[in-house]
Amino acid sequence: NEVFFSGIQPTGVPHIGNYFGFIKTWINHQNANPDGTKILSVVDLHAITTALPNASVMRDNIVKMTAGLLACGVDPAKTVLFQQSQVPEHAELCWILGSLQTITQLQRLPQYKDKSKKYSKGQVPLGLVSYPVLQSADVLLYKGTHVPVGEDQSQHMNLLADIAHVFNLRYGVDFFPIPKMVTSPAPRIKSLKDPNQKMSKSHPSEFSRLDIDNTNDELEAKIRRALSDTNPSITYDWETRPGVSNLISIYSAFTDKSPEEVVAESKGLDTLGFKKALIDTAIAHIAPIRTRFEQLCNDEGYIWQVLAEGSEKARAVAVDNLSQVKQVVGFK
Ligand code: ATP
Ligand code: MG
């Protein structure tokens, strides 16, 4: 019995890294497997671990992320789409799993190292350290077997498999399935400004990413200003030309062509010519998503209703599984 579970943080509007790294994989699976269990969460409990937006911004981010997922093709009739904080069992299971995990191991994770950098010493919130434990609870609460996520989550997925294993071993049960990571064929999309960093919703610069709600003019301006180099021809080499290679890889994700095919097609184009082709492609793909996104954002009532219905369905499963966990642990 396959259970697909994944989550995305309401820290902004989805960008093309989220889209190619995760959302597209989800939608392909959703549409190809009408019968399997598919649970997708807008993980608002995670979103407050890196910033504490005020309440109206938080609500707005939840609406935008949900509208973004729907605009990309998540179908609430096929996917249980829900809001994490409305299912309190996530936090409860996180607490139980937290006792199976060491702080040292959590502090070694690359995402923790990266995200804790912005705090001065002694100021890192507990939530940021325990983030991957909550992430493990998210999946295990539904006895998830498959987790579609971007490649940047691979260390967290190892930790998740480890926690599931340690729990089973400690209590001598075969309770949690060991979840498998499902990655997309597209590589990790890098920031348009710094190819050493991945594209991120929470990066302060708008110009580092292409968002699914960007206007045609914004897409054009961002691609024009994307980092390239002084070599006028188009070649694919991450070592020496990371900026241009990222643009090639984005073009290749939009068109479903390999980077080699893209390079062959771009023979004779200089960097600006290639950027123009990328601008046209990005606009052709993003404009229809943006239109749906804007319509959905105008109907907030519908968005909250989708989340409420999804949360009710998710909660039914969560309550049952957590009750079993409590039995295993000896709480009842
Ligand atoms: P934040 O900066 O707030 O962490 P994010 O852009 O990293 O935002 P998440 O909500 O953390 O987005 O992750 C949602 C999903 O998108 C995850 O499956 C993650 O692996 C995937 N993802 C995020 N960024 C990229 C990227 N640049 N390339 C490919 N996949 C990505
Ligand atoms: Mg992230």
pLDDT, tens only, 127-163: 999 999 999 999 999 999 999 999 999 999 999 999 9
CA–CA distances in Å: residue 65 to residues 47, 58, 203, 238, 243: 11, 11, 16, 31, 28
pLDDT of residue 186: 79
Contacts of 117 by beta carbon, 8 Å cutoff, 6+ apart: none
CA–CA distances in Å: residue 238 to residues 16, 107, 195, 266, 275: 19, 29, 9, 17, 17
Please state the ipTM of this predicted complex: 0.99
pLDDT in tens, 97-134: 999 999 999 999 999 999 999 999 999 999 999 999 99
DSSP symbols for 165-203:
HHHHHHHT---S--PEEE--SSPPPBPSS-TTSB--TT-
Q: How much distance in Å is there from the Cα of 189 to the middle of ligand 1? A: 9
Closest ligand to C-alpha of residue 12 is: 1
300-329 and 271-297 helices cross at what angle (nearest 10)? Answer: 90
The whole-number average pLDDT for the span 41-55 is 95
pLDDT of residue 300: 98
pLDDT in tens, 300-332: 999 999 999 999 999 999 999 999 999 999 999
Q: Ligand 1, residues 152, 182, 212, 247: which to mutate, most atoms within 8 A of Cβ? A: 152
CA–CA distances in Å: residue 297 to residues 12, 91, 214: 13, 29, 14
Q: Which residue, judged by its Cα, is nearest atom 25 of ligand 1?
A: 17
> Percentage of the chain surpassing pLDDT 90?
96
Atom of ligand 1 nearest to the CA of 47: 3
Distance CA 97, CA 312 (A): 24
Active site residue 38: no
On whether the CB atoms of residues 56 and 104 are closer than 8 A, the answer is no
Residue type, 270: D
pLDDT of residue 250: 97
pLDDT of residue 187: 75
Q: Ligand 1, residues 4, 11, 20, 22: which to mutate, most atoms within 8 A of Cβ? A: 22
Q: How much distance in Å is there from the Cα of 22 to the middle of ligand 1? A: 8
Active site residue 198: yes
On whether the CB atoms of residues 199 and 208 are closer than 8 A, the answer is yes
pLDDT in tens, 153-191: 999 999 999 999 999 999 999 999 999 999 988 778 999
pTM: 0.96
Residue type, 35: D
pLDDT of residue 178: 98
Which residue, among 2, 43, 48, 24, has the nearest Cα to 310 in the 3D structure? 43
Fold entry, domain 3-188+300-329: Rossmann fold (3.40.50)
Query: Of 38, 193, 201, 275, which one is the catalytic site residue?
Result: 201
Query: Of 115, 257, 276, 313, which one is the catalytic site residue?
Result: 115
Distance CA 271, CA 194 (A): 17
pLDDT in tens, 195-211: 999 999 989 999 999 99
> What's the whole-number average pLDDT of the chain?
97
On whether the CB atoms of residues 2 and 145 are closer than 8 A, the answer is yes
Closest ligand to C-alpha of residue 26 is: 1
pLDDT of residue 319: 98
- Model confidence at 51, pLDDT cuts 50, 70, 90, reads confident
Residue 242's φ and ψ, nearest 5 degrees, are -60, -40
Over 90: is that where the pLDDT of 79 sits? yes
User: Tokens for 47?
Assistant: 């979103």
Query: Of 24, 193, 198, 275, which one is the catalytic site residue?
Result: 198
Classify domain 213-295 by CATH number: 1.10.240.10
Q: How much distance in Å is there from the Cα of 200 to the middle of ligand 2? A: 6
The ranges assigned to domains in the chain are: 3-188+300-329, 213-295
